[in-house]
Structure 1
């Protein structure tokens, strides 16, 4: 299971920020509670890391044949 963070506002129309620091990056996220808005999942993708993983896969497949 991947790391997860759940945030549920109790009062609508509030605004704050969330800072997440990791060993690789710092994320500064603005959080806004809206009455009719819902974002069940937020996903982060890193193109460089995706490309490196694809290159590794191609290299492994080439070695198998």
Structure 2
């Protein structure tokens, strides 16, 4: 998980750099968050229990399409 502002900031910085060829830039937040961390935060914000569930990768495409 990383804030969109951080992605934008790095993208702007990279666009201003002179560089030739191909490179890979990895961006990571100051700390990693587990699905349970995210669920707990949503539960706190919403004021009700939130359950996190693992979704098998092979079902992602169909699931996203079914949700519009």
- Please, what TM-score do these two structures have when normalized by structure 1? 0.29
Max radius of gyration: which structure? 1
Higher strand share: 1
- Please, what TM-score do these two structures have when normalized by structure 2? 0.29
Higher RCO (C-alpha under 8 Å, 6+ residues apart): 2
